[in-house]
A = this chain, B = another copy of it.
Amino acid sequence: MSHDHSPQRAPAKSASVDALPPVEQHARQYATVRQAHETELIEDYVELIGDLLTHRGEARAADIAARMGVSQATVSKMIRRLNELELVTSRPYRSLFLTEAGTAMAARSRKRHDIVLHFLRALGVGDDAARIDAEGMEHHVSDETLGIMQRFMAAAPRQGSD
């Protein structure tokens, strides 16, 4: 807001950001980001597990490790956490399954991810960059923005689906 049309404005280029936000608002912004960080990794794991179940029929720790690019030990530890959070069920040395909560989280993440990825591609971003950006961005996009992205794609004519 406050887009003012004064004839001569100092640096003129970027009107909206040249003042610092009020302290509490600023702090809330960072707090929101910090909070997102805490759930990010969890969501990534759950989403990946869901994808593996869908596309491979099972989710094994070795696959997760390979796809996440981390050691099996790291995955093993993470699975324990996911278990405690009741997002997956697992028996030792067996592949995993998502709980109901896990399934819901996977679906939610998958959807956000897809919207962001498709949006970037609709915008004209190349495949590689779009994938990487989507992976990083998906946890930081509000529902409001997500909705706008969807509307944008509905309106957008092109982006040729290859």
Could you say how many copies of this chain the assembly holds?
2
A85 in contact (CB, < 8 A): no
Q: Give, as a whole number of angstroms, the nearest-CB distance from A46 to chain B.
A: 14
Q: Are A136 and B32 in contact (CB under 8 A)?
A: yes
Q: Beta-carbon contacts of A124-142 to B below 8 Å, as 1s and 0s? A: 1111111111011101111
A162 in contact (CB, < 8 A): yes
Q: Are B135 and A33 in contact (CB under 8 A)?
A: yes
Q: Beta-carbon contacts of A101-143 to B below 8 Å, as 1s and 0s? A: 0000000000001100110110111111111110111011110
Q: How many residues of chain A get a CB closer than 8 Å to chain B's CBs?
A: 65
Cβ-defined partner of A29 (8 Å) among B2, B31, B126, B131: B131
Q: Are A123 and B152 in contact (CB under 8 A)?
A: yes
Interface stretch, picked from A14-22, A76-84, A88-96, is A14-22
Residues of B within 8 A of A3 (CB): 158, 161-162
Q: Give, as a whole number of angstroms, the nearest-CB distance from A90 to chain B.
A: 21
Evaluate whether A55 and B148 lie within 8 angstroms (CB atoms) in the complex, with A36-B136, A135-B30 already known.
Answer: no
In Å, the complex CA distance between A27 and B27 comes to: 33
Residue ID in chain B nearest A124 by CB atoms = B148
Residues of A in contact with B (beta carbons under 8 Å apart): 1-3, 14-17, 19-21, 23, 25-34, 36-37, 44, 51-52, 55-56, 66-70, 113-114, 117-118, 120-121, 123-133, 135-137, 139-142, 144-145, 148-149, 152, 158, 161-162
Q: Give the 7 A-B CB pairs with smallest separation, nearest first.
A: A136-B140, A27-B69, A3-B162, A129-B144, A129-B142, A1-B127, A26-B67
